[in-house]
Structure 1
Amino acid sequence: MGNCCCRGSEAFEGDFVGFDLTGPNDPKVIAQDTCFTEDEVYALFELFREVSTSVVADGLIHKDEFSVAIFKTSQINLFVERVFELFDTKRNGVVDFGEFVRSLSVFHPQAPLRDKVDFAFKIYDMKHTGVIEKDEVFNLLSALLHENPDLRLPKEAVADLVDRTFQEVDISKSGYISMEEWHNLCSQNPTVISYMTLSVLKELTTRYPSFVFRKQT
């Protein structure tokens, strides 16, 4: 694809020193597993290299690097914890190149809607019970609102918002939101997971992937 045939040339070898791009981290393998082309995977490597060397130059993304790069904050809140945990599929406390690109693929505009819905469900399912409970929504929503001074609400107002949401979504009146109920909500109101699509991921080979590392002014 494109200029991928020259990726193994001497001109590129120096760029990969200290990074594991073999086995499941091989860009060709990653491209087969994701919505990205091989050229786009290499474009994402440029981003990964910057993020993974911003604090600890070990070719891996640590939680503090992830927080600053993705969310523009050094404060690791509950939402950051949840997203990082989902990217860290090996559960070893760091994110390697393969994990990074494969997890990012779900945000691609061409990624299946079901994958986006399932990923968003996992963000809320903090206890890994297969359902979304009220306290999970309350805690996550409180963490998100705390990061935005303009949207901070009293705990009572947040609790009321969560109660009203459950009254609408929890059709079975079970006290929690099942995967089926979550899928129904997202199909009827796609804006609920609009954050799961990053249109800029379609432009990786024509612009530097600064959608994550862009400095705020």
Structure 2
Amino acid sequence: MGCYHSSMGNLFSDYEDPRKLASQTAFSVSEVEALFELFKSISSSIIDDGLISKEEFLLALFKSKRKQNFLAKRIFALFDVKRKGLIDFGDFVRSLNVFHPKAPIEEKINFSFNLYDLRGTGFIERRGVKQMLIALLQESELKLDEETIETILDNTFLEADGDQDGKIDKSEWQAFVTKNPSLLKIMTLPYLRDITTTFPSFVFNTQVEEILP
């Protein structure tokens, strides 16, 4: 069985065990260790406290600290599992797991649903979809007039809102996404796809031996 180098054991002494995180995600142990390097870089970019603040998160993954960035706020809120305004290493890895190609499709669907469920009601509402659509357009530097946006919303709810009650529940969203799988590619968020090119250590630099079965 492989084991940690002593230096690695000391390095992770104040954080969750990479082997544990690897067992809970689609990441390998070496990928978790590489993510730790990324985490340390982000968490020390403003204040070196071993936690990622909202400002550090936006600066690293969105190249901006703009507090008015609606999409960025939503992403951070989903990563901030403990609702403390800070992201620790374990939550960072578990949250990033949804973007892994081998992550269960159910996790990707749930993440995309929660992204649009702005008020945490268990439903996707038209107002929330409109806010997210406008935010996505702004991030992509695309412009659509109000009439076009409303048409997109009309068509979306016509297809997705099965019982036509004006809101989309999780089962309706799952059916909608299943029929329109390209939505999950959109919800993968291109900002996070750049990790392997922006931070090559995510793939190539590893100091942890894999744990053999």
**TM-score tier (shorter):** 0.7 to 0.9
1:87-106 aligned within 5 A: 87-106=79-98
Aligned to 1:157: 148
**Cα distance in 1 between the residues matched to 2:8 and 2:73:** 37
**Cα distance in 2 between the residues matched to 1:11 and 1:27:** 10
In the superposition, the TM-score normalised over structure 2's length comes to 0.83
- Paired letter, 1:79: L
- Asked if 2 retains the 8 angstrom alpha-carbon contact of 1:109 and 1:199, the reply is no
Aligned to 1:209: 202
1:60-99 aligned within 5 A: 60-76=51-67, 77-99=69-91
Aligned to 2:209: none
* Alignment size in residue pairs: 198
Q: CA RMSD in A?
A: 2.6
Aligned-partner SS, 1:6: coil
1:23-172 aligned within 5 A: 25-76=16-67, 77-149=69-141, 151-172=142-163
Bigger drift between 168-177 and 43-52 goes to 168-177
Could you report, residue by residue, the CA deviation over 1:43-69 in whole angstroms, capped at 9, with x for unpaired residues? 110111111111111111111111121
- Paired letter, 1:208: S
Could you report, residue by residue, the CA deviation over 1:59-88 in whole angstroms, capped at 9, with x for unpaired residues? 111111111211222224111111111111
Quote the offset at 1:179 in angstroms.
Answer: 0.8
Could you report, residue by residue, the CA deviation over 1:80-116 in whole angstroms, capped at 9, with x for unpaired residues? 1111111111100000000000111111111110111
- Asked if 2 retains the 8 angstrom alpha-carbon contact of 1:51 and 1:65, the reply is yes
**Cα distance in 1 between the residues matched to 2:101 and 2:187:** 9
Is the alpha carbon distance of 1:200 and 1:91 closer, same or farther for their aligned partners in structure 2, counting shifts above 3 Å?
same
Is the alpha carbon distance of 1:122 and 1:64 closer, same or farther for their aligned partners in structure 2, counting shifts above 3 Å?
same
Identity %: 43
Higher relative contact order, structure no. (Cα contacts within 8 Å, ≥ 6 residues apart): 2
5+ unaligned residues in a row in structure 1: which ranges? 211-217
Give the 4+ runs in structure 1 shifted more than 6 A: 198-201
5+ unaligned residues in a row in structure 2: which ranges? 204-213
Is the alpha carbon distance of 1:209 and 1:37 closer, same or farther for their aligned partners in structure 2, counting shifts above 3 Å?
closer
- Paired letter, 2:80: D
**1:10 aligned to 7, 11, 31, which one?**
7
- Asked if 1 retains the 8 angstrom alpha-carbon contact of 2:22 and 2:29, the reply is yes
